[in-house]
Amino acid sequence: MKIIVFGASGRMGLKVIEQALEAGHIVTAFLRTPSKIVLQHPNLTLFQGDVMYAAAVENAIAGQEVVFSVLGPTRPPTPDMMETAAKNIVVAMQKHGIRRIISTTGAGVPQPEDQPKVADRLVNAMLNLLQKSFVLDASANVKVIQASDLDWTIVRFPHLIDGAHTGKYRVAYIGKDSGTQISRADGANFVLKELIEKKWLGKAPVVSY
């Protein structure tokens, strides 16, 4: 498949790109600074652009089949970046008739299916205290995608670590057999697996150990 990855230069984005190429997909990496990706592959194209600019997003999405959004917080922070990116991506996908999007976010973005325990509530309280602007922006990003008519899956991750690719993890909701961490390699594994299996269309599970 022809896949475009937004947030390509992040550590999760790089894992998604590596595994997508290994699976035989044709990948376009969308990023502001192409030099951040040193990986070279005949099926990899680097597209320089900024998700804050609708025209760049639209040009990059033209001709793709699937969109992966693995955007994370920028340093220094860009106000409303996640929400703006989601709006630009959704509009571009609709214009070009692309249906499938898999987007990742943090487990701190609540969903109606969650049944948080006391520990979960404490963690969320800390996130809202220490990273309130990012949590609000991430939540807005998710709401934009969920309100669209696209075939979406939101993948929520807890604490991401640089662990091995095991292929062994749990897929659930907060408080329902969810854990506290996941390796980026296994997170990428689930994203690519969901692309093919489509078991979580229109849902936002947590993937964890």
Which residue range is the domain that position 45 belongs to?
A: 2-208
Length of the chain: 209
pLDDT at 129 over 80: no
State pLDDT tens for residues 171-189: 999 988 888 899 999 999 9
Q: Give the 3-state DSSP-derived string for 79-125, with helices as H, strands as E and coil as C.
A: CCHHHHHHHHHHHHHHHHCCCEEEEEEECCCCCCCCCCCHHHHHHHH
pLDDT at 92 over 80: yes
**CATH classification at residue 155:** 3.40.50.720
Total of domains in the chain? 1
pTM as predicted: 0.93
Containing 69, the helix (H) or strand (E) segment is strand 66-69
Q: What angle do CA 15, 185, 60 make, to 5 degrees?
A: 25
What pLDDT band is residue 125 in, cutting at 50, 70 and 90?
low
